[in-house]
Amino acid sequence: MFGATVGSLRLFLQSIDSRKTALIWQRTGSQGNEWMLGQSHVTLREVHQILIDASVGGEAGDIALDDLSVTEGACSPADGLYDFEEGTCGWTQEADDDLDWIRGAGHDPVLNSKPSSDHTTNTDRGYFYYLGSGSSRVRGHSARMSSPLISAGKGQCVYLWYYLSGQDPGTLSVYQELSGGGQSQLLSQSGDQGKMWRFTQAPLSNRGSDYRIIVEGTMVQNNQGIMAIDDIQLSSYPCTGPGLCDFEMNMCSWRNVMEYDETDWLRDQGNTQAPSTGPSTDHTTNSTTGYYLYVDSTVGRWGDRALLISEIFSPESTGQCFTFWYHILGHKIGTLNLYVNNRTMYGSGNSLGQHMWTESGDQGNVWWKGRIYLQHKEPFWFVFEYKKGEGSPGDVAIDDLHITPGSCDPVVEPPPTAAPTNVIAIGVGVTVMILVIAIACTTFYILRRRKANSESLIGNDMMEINVAYDLYDCELQDSVT
Ligand SMILES: [Ca+2]
Ligand SMILES: [Ca+2]
Ligand SMILES: [Ca+2]
Ligand SMILES: [Ca+2]
């Protein structure tokens, strides 16, 4: 499934007798320019058919299927993926804590505030683990569950999908616990992050020891929030750094907005593009094999938008610098905007947030660096917005997004020695000016004198007096002349 307006693909089971259908798997929007595996485990008591439903979202995008198979027994999940579809996936609840994580699905009527679908299947039949307002929760109480023992050296990065929604849903922390003892925190998330599954990742340390992943939820008293996790995955590739996305492995925590805009940002390489859209190289690797995000400018109408939203970042006392690389090529190609939003602005109806940066029209076949300095007191997120222009197809792409603590670039602030340097520079400038004026006046004087000498010898004395001229005399003589 790949394209600006690709639509959705859904898998149903239909009973032969009752004709009732049940949705068992679905995807909406671009899933990347590659073949992806989809699977669903079902237990049936009567004869069913499988229905595959693809709906076209617009004029650009492909949905293709290949290698369909039905096998007996549970699905074999990808190596290192814990999707919780078949059960616990070998994860165990710790006994010496206060609560247990609960395995559930969206169709369970127990809690109405939990996610209506899981992340794996994107349906109400897929399973996840959650902690909700139904738990007998006390402030500071926590629930911990641990993964099966993982061999030393397996996995360089852990991917995790989480859901934190409602008022004070608590804190989600993930740890790596070495079998020989010792535990390090991999990541922590808290606060209301909206009714959506969010992605996060953290590097795993490899100290030659087998290890477990520990997922811990810490509750807050008297709240209606919910915390859930799904699709925990070990990647054999290194993570990108915190707050950094180069798009080489995935879109990190950046997500397309599906509801409020007309098209999507697509992740792809330079060498697989239609000839008229997308840069030929990315910024990270400067090669045709490096990945970036781009908008397919060959489709849609003037004013169509593609919104891209970041994860929620925590503020720093030193402020933060957000740098990004952008590539805008093409006549009247459109406008790229960057907004920063937070819960206060969002809650008051400002869905995009504060407008921080903009660039419009053709910027040449070059990757440019953009940056903004932020001093936020509360957690915030970014929104990139591309607005299509009236012009012909071209490139609108971004790459190497990075947020770092502190100010943007030392060049922006004057260095401590700046003042003396400026004084010297001004001094040199004044001296040069005086010299130029002096030379001009001398020349003028000599010319006058020659002229005077040639016209008349009378008044030579007067001219001699003016040898002692100053700058003002020169100006005066000039005006008099
Ligand atoms: Ca427990
Ligand atoms: Ca799942
Ligand atoms: Ca979109
Ligand atoms: Ca890249």
3-state secondary structure the chain: CECCCCCEEEEEEEECCCCCEEEEEEEECCCCCCCCCCCCCCCCCCCEEEEEEEECCCCCCECCCCCCCCCCCCCCCCCCEECCCCCCCCCEECCCCCECCEEEECCCCCCCCCCCCCCCCCCCCCEEEEECCCCCCCCCCEEEEECCCECCCCCCEEEEEEEEECCCCCEEEEEEEECCCCEEEEEEEECCCCCCCEEEEEECCCCCCCEEEEEEEECCCCCCCEEEEEEEEEECCCCCCCCEECCCCCCCCCEECCCCCCECEEEEEHHHCCCCCCCCCCCCCCCCCCEEEEECCCCCCCCCEEEEECCCECCCCCCEEEEEEEEEECCCCEEEEEEEEEHHHHHCCCCCCEEEEEEECCCCCCCEEEEEEECCCCCEEEEEEEEECCCCCCEEEEEEEEEEECCCCCCCCCCCCHHHHHHHHHHHHHHHHHHHHHHHHHHHHHHHHHHHHHHCCCCHHHHHHHHHCCHHHHHHHHHHC
- Cα–ligand 4 centroid distance for 309 (angstroms): 18
- Cα–ligand 1 centroid distance for 146 (angstroms): 10
At residue 287, the pLDDT reads 93
For the stretch 310-331, pLDDT in tens is 988 989 999 999 999 999 999 9
- Cα–ligand 4 centroid distance for 188 (angstroms): 26
Which CATH class for the 77-239 domain? mainly beta
- Cα–ligand 3 centroid distance for 256 (angstroms): 5
- Cα–ligand 4 centroid distance for 397 (angstroms): 10
At residue 457, the pLDDT reads 34
At residue 347, the pLDDT reads 85
Burial annotation 373-402 (CB, 10 A radius, 16+ → b, else e):
ebeeeebbbbbbbbbbbeeebbbbbbbbbb
At residue 107, the pLDDT reads 82
Ligand nearest to the CA of 3: 3
- Cα–ligand 4 centroid distance for 267 (angstroms): 9
Ligand nearest to the CA of 270: 4
Contacts of 170 (CB under 8 A, 6+ apart): 131, 164, 190, 217, 218, 219, 220, 223, 225, 227
Instruction: Walk along the chain (481 residues) and give the pLDDT tens digit of each residue.
Output: 999 889 999 999 999 999 999 999 999 999 988 999 888 888 888 899 999 999 988 888 899 999 999 988 877 767 789 999 988 999 999 998 888 999 999 887 766 667 999 999 999 999 999 987 655 545 568 999 999 999 998 999 999 999 998 888 889 999 999 998 899 999 999 888 888 899 999 999 887 899 999 999 998 776 678 999 999 999 998 888 778 999 998 999 899 988 889 999 999 998 766 666 789 899 999 999 999 999 988 888 999 999 999 988 989 999 999 999 999 999 999 999 999 999 899 889 998 999 999 999 999 999 999 999 999 899 999 999 999 999 878 889 999 999 999 999 765 444 454 444 444 444 444 444 545 455 554 444 444 444 433 333 333 333 333 333 333 333 333 333 3
Domains 77-239 and 244-405 share a fold: yes
Beta partners for 105?
127
Ligand nearest to the CA of 143: 1
- Cα–ligand 3 centroid distance for 238 (angstroms): 28
Name the one residue in this structure whose structure tokens are 């109405």: 112
Ligand nearest to the CA of 128: 2
Q: Taking a C-beta distance cutoff of 8 angstroms, is the pair 237, 248 a contact?
A: no
- Cα–ligand 1 centroid distance for 43 (angstroms): 29
- Cα–ligand 3 centroid distance for 469 (angstroms): 75
- Cα–ligand 4 centroid distance for 283 (angstroms): 5
Identity (one letter) of the amino acid at 302?
A: W
- Cα–ligand 2 centroid distance for 117 (angstroms): 9
- Cα–ligand 4 centroid distance for 93 (angstroms): 39
Domain boundaries, the chain: 1-76, 77-239, 244-405, 419-480
Ligand nearest to the CA of 142: 1
At residue 112, the pLDDT reads 60
Ligand nearest to the CA of 266: 3
462: exposed, middle or buried (Cβ count in 10 Å: 0-12, 13-18, 19+): exposed
- Cα–ligand 2 centroid distance for 71 (angstroms): 19
Ligand nearest to the CA of 233: 2
Name all contacts of 38-43 with Cβ < 8 Å and 24+ positions apart.
Answer: 38/11, 39/75, 40/11, 40/75, 40/85, 40/121, 40/125, 41/74, 41/75, 41/85, 41/86, 42/13
- Cα–ligand 1 centroid distance for 101 (angstroms): 7
Question: In whole angstroms, what is the distance from residue 355 CA to residue 220 CA?
Answer: 34
At residue 242, the pLDDT reads 77
Token output for 421: 């340097």
Ligand nearest to the CA of 261: 3
At residue 335, the pLDDT reads 96
Ligand nearest to the CA of 251: 4
Ligand nearest to the CA of 75: 2
Ligand nearest to the CA of 161: 2
Ligand nearest to the CA of 115: 2
Ligand nearest to the CA of 288: 4
Ligand nearest to the CA of 144: 1
Q: Which residues surround ligand 4, an ion (CB under 5 A)?
A: 246-247, 282, 284, 290-291, 399
Give the domain 244-405 fold.
Answer: Jelly Rolls (2.60.120)
